[in-house]
Amino acid sequence: MNALFALKQDASLEKILENKKLEINIEIAQDKYVFMNKMKSQFDIVVANCNLFGDVYPWEWMLTIKEKSPAAKVIILLDHEVYDASLQEVVTRLSNDFGYLIVPSGQSPEEIGTAVSNELFKPYVRNTTSTDLGEVISVWSTSNKDGASTIAGNTALAIAQKFPELRVGLIDLNLKNPEIRTNFNLTDRGRNNLKIRPKMQTGTLSSDDLLAACLVYGRLKNLHILTGSSRRDTAFDVTPEMIHHLLNTAKATFDITIVDAGAQPDNAGTISAVRLADHKWLVTQNYFSSFKLSWGEWFDCVWKYCGIEPKDIALIVNRSTKSGEGKSISNHLGMQLLAEVPNIMGGEGLRAVNEGIPAYQLGVSEEFNEKINELVRSAAGKHVSSNDNPEKKQGIFKKLSSLF
C-alpha cells in the first residue's frame, strides 16, 4: 500500500510513524507545493492536515485528492487556527460527500497521531448481524461478450417486475467493461460504485450508503442498480476485502442481489464476486472459443485455485440456435444446466441494448422471456424457500404458481 501524509513535522506525525503495524510505503509532503506535485500519483491512503492549506480554498485541494486518488482511504485533520468555522463546515460537508474521515480540531499532536493510527487500522465492519439476509447471485461469462450482462440485467428486471414486494439489487462489478448503465440507458453518471469505494475500503458502507449510490429503474421502485465506472484504470484498486464488505452490505439491503461479474478473472471485482456468491451462474455461447478454449484456460489458470469446482456452477447457454446443444455443453463442462436462452433473431437484441431497453421488457421474443422466467423461478424460488415467514412464503409461492 502507498500512503501520502500531508503533515508538518510534529509529534502527530512521529506518533503515526512509530506504529509498528504500519507496513505501508509512506511519502511525506510538508507543504502544499510538494503535496500537489505528489498527487500526480495515485495513493491507497491520504492523510492531510488543513494547516498546510491556509491560503487555499478547501474544495481546491480536496477535489485534487478525489480526482487523482478516487479509491483512496482519506483522513482529514481539521485545524481551527487555519480555517474558521464556515470553512471547517465546508471541509466537513465535502468529506461527507466524498466518504472521507474527519479528525476534529483542538486535539494535541499525540491525540491526533493516535486517532489517525486507529483509523488506519480499524477492522472491517461487516453487516452480518441480521438473521434475515438476502442472497447474492453472481453472473459471469466464459468469454467476453457471451452475454453475462444480458442475463444479469434481464433476470433482475424480471424479478423486480413480478415480485414488487422484494427489494432487488443489480450490481455491476465488471470493473473493466461495465455495461449495465448502457443496457438500461441510465443517464445519471453521478452515481456508481466509484462513489462508495472509500467506504468499501474502510469497511463503513451502510445500507443507506448503498441505496444512495444506486439508481432506481423507471417505475420499478424495488429495482436498485449500482452501475460501474468508466474509470477502468482503477479496477486494480479494488481489493477482495472491499468486495466482501460490499456483498455483505448488499445481503443486508436487498432480498436478492444479482451481480454482473464480467468475464476475465484478473481483478478482485470478478474473482471475489464469484467466490463469495451464494449462487454462481456461468454464461457461455456454443462456440469453441467460449466454453472450451476460453473457459478451459481461465479455469486452469485461476478458478480452480480459487476453490471453485464445476459442480458448484450452474450453466446458462446464451444465444442458443437449436434445442439440445446446452445439454452437451453442460456434460462437457460437468456443470448443471440451468437454462438454454435462445438467440433473438433479426438483430433485436442489439437494438434493445442500443436503445437502452432490456430485451425482456421490449418483449421481442416470447421464447426469450420464457427462459428468463425460468431463471426468475430459480432465483426467487430459492430465496423464498429460505424465508422464515410462513404467510409470506405462501403468498409468494401462490404468486409464483399463478405467474408461470
Summarize pLDDT for 303-361 with one digit per residue, the tens.
999 889 999 999 999 988 877 788 999 999 999 999 999 888 654 444 445 456 788 88
pLDDT value at residue 400: 40
pLDDT value at residue 403: 40
Q: What is the pLDDT of residues 234-293, one digit of tens each?
A: 888 999 999 999 999 999 999 999 999 989 899 999 999 999 999 999 999 988 888 889
pLDDT value at residue 346: 59
Nearest to 172 by CA among 224, 124, 212: 224
Give the chain's largest Cα–Cα span: 75
pLDDT value at residue 124: 35
Segment 73-86 mean pLDDT: 87
Contacting residues for 404 by C-beta, under 8 A, at least 6 apart: 373, 377
Residue in the block written with cell 485455485 = 305
Residue in the block written with cell 457461455 = 284
Nearest-angstrom CA–CA distance, 155 and 256: 11
Nearest-angstrom CA–CA distance, 204 and 95: 14
pTM over 0.75: no
Nearest-angstrom CA–CA distance, 154 and 376: 10
Q: What is the pLDDT of residues 15-71, one digit of tens each?
A: 677 654 555 788 889 889 999 999 988 888 899 999 899 888 999 899 889 888 887
Nearest-angstrom CA–CA distance, 132 and 126: 15
pLDDT value at residue 332: 93
Contacting residues for 131 by C-beta, under 8 A, at least 6 apart: none
Helices and strands (DSSP H and E) totals, the chain: 17, 13
Domains defined along the chain, listed by start: 2-121 (3.40.50.2300), 135-380 (3.40.50.300)
The interaxial angle of helices 85-98 and 58-68, nearest 10 deg, is 20
> How many other CB atoms sit within 10 Å of the CB of residue 404?
12
Task: Give the CA count within 13 Å in the CB-facing half-sphere of 77.
Answer: 29
Task: Give the CA count within 13 Å in the CB-facing half-sphere of 314.
Answer: 17
At residue 183, what is the residue type?
N
Any idea of the CA torsion for 383, 377, 193, 277, to the nearest 10 degrees? 60
Nearest-angstrom CA–CA distance, 402 and 189: 38
